[in-house]
Amino acid sequence: MQGLASMHIATLLFGFTAILGKLITLNALSLVWWRMGIATIVFMLIPSVWKGLQAMSKAKRILFLINGSLVALHWITFYGAIKIGNSASLVLGVFGMVAFFTAILEPWIIGSRFRKHQLILGIIILLGLLCINRANPEGALTWDNNFALAIGVGLLSAFLAALFSVFNKKWIGHDSATSATALQMLGGFLTICLFLPFLGQLGSSFEWLLLPSDWFWMIILSVLCTNLAFSLEMTALKSMSAFTANIILNLEPIYGVGIAALALKEYQMLNGWFYLGTTLIIATVFLNVILSKRLES
């Protein structure tokens, strides 16, 4: 029960990221660099993080650093797909494949039993997210020359998200969730630094300076929606499968739309398609719990 509560709180915090992304004036890659950099600094100021790192084996420390690179690559490809396809909603639909990929990767990597119902639930989640995508009046999918590339990059992003969550499940064991998350943020930050010299060739720019108005929102994004949210997710993975965690994470767009409606008075997505998608996703979350308990008994 504690793991479920941690995962839902983490998902709620992740739901704020879209709003904070609108409030912060940086472009996507710069925002991710600042987000992971500030998150790393904050983690390193916490004494218990250092204590957890000392108790962790050297091999585990290296593995979590590498997994942080997967987090960074996931975010880079996620925002890259949005830029290529010129639609965040397109990527939202593709992101429903995270649960599907997890259903395949988790048994293979961890050695757990393959469960066919997880593939079916993953497909239902995808349908739910596509309905929410359809709810956005400005986000309808349009077929153009960049569509296939955007879908491909989005699928890569979803695959990376599934992969790093499964690795987290495999490696976390009894180690400190906060310390493991700190290493991942550091690994991700260093990975993005490696991309900086090539930004000109990629047609991108980097914004080194934060506007005074950005600092408050960036700290909220880094501390609450990154440090706390990722630590809670890692804690939850100690008591639940990566598939269950990713099923719950699909509630993020629902939380995000609800928060946007309350905070920014954006009601345009609260229509029949949104409620249909929400119903499918919530039903899948409950159905996964019921089926998992039956299979365990």
Q: Return the pLDDT at 71.
A: 92
Q: Where in the sequence is the domain holding 98, given as residue range(s)?
A: 2-296
Angle between helix axes 28-44 and 58-85 (nearest 10 degrees) is 160
Q: What is the pTM of this model?
A: 0.83
* 3-state secondary structure labels for all residues of 92-112: HHHCCHHHHHHHHHHHHHHCC
Say if residue 259's pLDDT is above 90.
no
Q: Return the pLDDT at 38.
A: 96
Exposure string for 159-181, b = 16+ CB within 10 A, e = fewer: bbbbbbbbbbbbbbeebbbbbbb
- pLDDT-derived band of residue 86, with 50, 70 and 90 as boundaries? low
H or E element at residue 248: helix 242-249
Q: Return the pLDDT at 199.
A: 62
Say if residue 70's pLDDT is above 90.
yes
Residues 127-140, mean pLDDT to the nearest whole number = 67
Residues 133-161, mean pLDDT to the nearest whole number = 71
**Residue 250 vs residues 10, 14, 113, 158: alpha-carbon distances, Å:** 12, 10, 23, 12
**Residue 141 vs residues 106, 133, 250: alpha-carbon distances, Å:** 31, 8, 20
Q: How distant is the alpha carbon of residue 267 from its chain centre?
A: 24
- pLDDT-derived band of residue 185, with 50, 70 and 90 as boundaries? very high
Give the model confidence (pLDDT) of 29-40 as tens digits. 788 899 999 999
Q: To which residue do tokens 């790393």 refer?
A: 40
- pLDDT-derived band of residue 269, with 50, 70 and 90 as boundaries? low
Token output for 182: 């700190």
Q: Do residues 130 and 90 make contact, with C-beta atoms less than 8 angstroms apart?
A: no
Helix, strand, coil: what percent of the chain each, to 5? 80, 0, 20
169 compared with 19, residue with greater pLDDT: 169
Q: Do residues 242 and 290 make contact, with C-beta atoms less than 8 angstroms apart?
A: no
Q: Do residues 177 and 231 make contact, with C-beta atoms less than 8 angstroms apart?
A: yes
Domain count, the chain: 1
| Distance from C-alpha of 151 to C-alpha of 45, rounded to nearest angstrom | 40
| Distance from C-alpha of 73 to C-alpha of 75, rounded to nearest angstrom | 5
Residue 250's nearest CA partner among 208, 214, 226, 286 is 286
Q: Return the pLDDT at 116.
A: 80
Q: Return the pLDDT at 30.
A: 85
**Mean pLDDT over each residue of the chain, to the nearest integer:** 83
Say if residue 231's pLDDT is above 90.
yes
| Distance from C-alpha of 93 to C-alpha of 90, rounded to nearest angstrom | 5
The CA radius of gyration of the chain, in Å to the nearest whole number, is: 19
